[in-house]
Amino acid sequence: MAKLADLRDDIKKVEADLGAQLEAIDDPSSLEAFRVEFLGRKGRISALLKQLGAVEPAERAQAGQWLNDLKDRSASAFSARETELRRRAMDDRLAKERADVTLPGVYRPYGHAHPLSKVQEEIESIFMRMGFDVATGPEIETEYYNFEALNIPADHPARADWDTFYITDSTLLRPHTSPVQIRVMERSTPPVRIICPGRCYRRDAQDATHSPVFHQIELLWVEEGLSLANLKFVLELFTKEYFGPGYEMRFSGDFFPFTEPSVQVHIKAPGASHWLEIMGAGMVDPAVLTAVGYDPERITGFAFGLGIERMAMLKYGIDDIRTFLTNDLRFVHQL
């Protein structure tokens, strides 16, 4: 029979060893070896528990009590140490990986839309809200779409109004977006309500208001019963949205082969003393409607063409069209 006193000595010894070893451990990886030695299934505490059966029945309750206390104390000492070591490891890591938020940051330049793209998008969105669709056409055009179908036959003197870059005898870089009108009407039945933004080319000498490459937005609305009054309404709405309230608008006579009558549209800023031309416009010429197979007795329409650069220059007070192309970042970033 095991003696209660011996058992107590053993318990004390285990507890003393356990305390000393636990104290000495200072990295979490040694904890596991310790756990196996003392708290494991074949560890020293289990070995003591096995002796319980050999204790006198009368003393067993006392022995059991001591052993349970030992087990509980050991387990909580272990977990306290474990927590302590983990916390220390975390503190070390935090100290090592500390980010100094007061250090200067890394400058990353970010890209954004070109002022012309922004103006184009703004104009598109105004007309899209009025129910116009956006259509595009090729920049390399045929003479037919660029001139003939727009009521400018070969050898007509009006062809000289567009200083055109020819690629072959019958293909060219389009000098305006009006040919897109023809392409869209050819494949649609009225009502047609579109705007056509795009790049245009002219053999112009470059100066503050002329560039061999520039952008236009064409507008076309074709259906039964439209008149100049509808055009005026659309333009007044557009002027108010794009330039702001208080602008005045006026039409004056002009000539384009593809419109009859043709008008020049001027606007005047509130308080300003002079009128600015913003676009050419007019009622679609019956010859153009006939060219796309529409019946000009029944179908009417109006159109306009405006320069995007010009719209940007007027709105933002830019005085040289060449600044859009030179890509001086100080200019490009400011709008």
For ligand DAH, the closer of residues 197 and 280 by Cβ is: 280
Q: How far apart are CA 147 and CA 257, in angstroms?
A: 9
Given the rule CB under 6 A, which of 89-97, 116-124, 231-239, 297-305 is the region that contacts ligand DAH? 297-305
Q: How far apart are CA 313 and CA 318, in angstroms?
A: 4
Tell the smallest beta-carbon distance from residue 307 to ligand DAH (Å).
8
β-pairing, 140-142 vs 213-224, is unpaired
Q: How far apart are CA 132 and CA 124, in angstroms?
A: 9
259 binds ligand DAH (CB under 6 A): yes
Tell the smallest beta-carbon distance from residue 144 to ligand DAH (Å).
16
For ligand DAH, the closer of residues 74 and 211 by Cβ is: 211
Q: How far apart are CA 215 and CA 200, in angstroms?
A: 6
256 binds ligand DAH (CB under 6 A): yes
Tokens encoding 229 = 């009054």
257 binds ligand DAH (CB under 6 A): no
Question: Cis before residue 190, ω within 30 degrees of 0?
Answer: no
Number of Cβ within 10 Å of residue 325's Cβ equals 14
For ligand DAH, the closer of residues 14 and 231 by Cβ is: 231
Could you write out the DSSP letters of every residue in 121-182?
HHHHHHHHHTTPEE----SEEEHHHHTGGGT--TT-GGGGGS--EESSSSEEE-SSSHHHHH
**What letter does residue 207 receive in the DSSP assignment?**
B
Q: How far apart are CA 78 and CA 23, in angstroms?
A: 10
Given the rule CB under 6 A, which of 19-27, 186-194, 234-242, 280-288 is the region that contacts ligand DAH? 280-288
Tell the smallest beta-carbon distance from residue 218 to ligand DAH (Å).
5
304 binds ligand DAH (CB under 6 A): yes
197 binds ligand DAH (CB under 6 A): no
Choosing from 243, 305, 321, 324, the residue that interacts with ligand DAH (CB under 6 A) is 305
Q: How far apart are CA 165 and CA 172, in angstroms?
A: 6
198 binds ligand DAH (CB under 6 A): no
**Number of chain residues interacting with ligand DAH (CB under 6 A):** 11
For ligand DAH, the closer of residues 190 and 282 by Cβ is: 282
* DSSP helix/strand/coil, 66: helix
Choosing from 197, 198, 280, 301, the residue that interacts with ligand DAH (CB under 6 A) is 280
Given the rule CB under 6 A, which of 221-229, 242-250, 266-274, 277-285 is the region that contacts ligand DAH? 277-285
Choosing from 81, 174, 176, 310, the residue that interacts with ligand DAH (CB under 6 A) is 176
β-pairing, 259-268 vs 299-307, is unpaired
**Shortest-Cβ-distance residue relative to ligand DAH:** 305
Helix axes 57-96, 4-24, angle to 10 degrees: 0
281 binds ligand DAH (CB under 6 A): yes
For residues 161 and 147, the answer to whether their CB atoms sit within 8 Å is no
Tell the smallest beta-carbon distance from residue 177 to ligand DAH (Å).
7
Choosing from 180, 226, 299, 303, the residue that interacts with ligand DAH (CB under 6 A) is 303
Given the rule CB under 6 A, which of 2-10, 165-173, 274-282, 314-322 is the region that contacts ligand DAH? 274-282
For ligand DAH, the closer of residues 74 and 178 by Cβ is: 178
Measuring CA to CA, which residue among 133, 300, 303 is closest to residue 235?
A: 303
282 binds ligand DAH (CB under 6 A): yes
Binding site residues, ligand DAH, CB under 6 A: 176, 178, 218, 256, 259, 280-282, 303-305
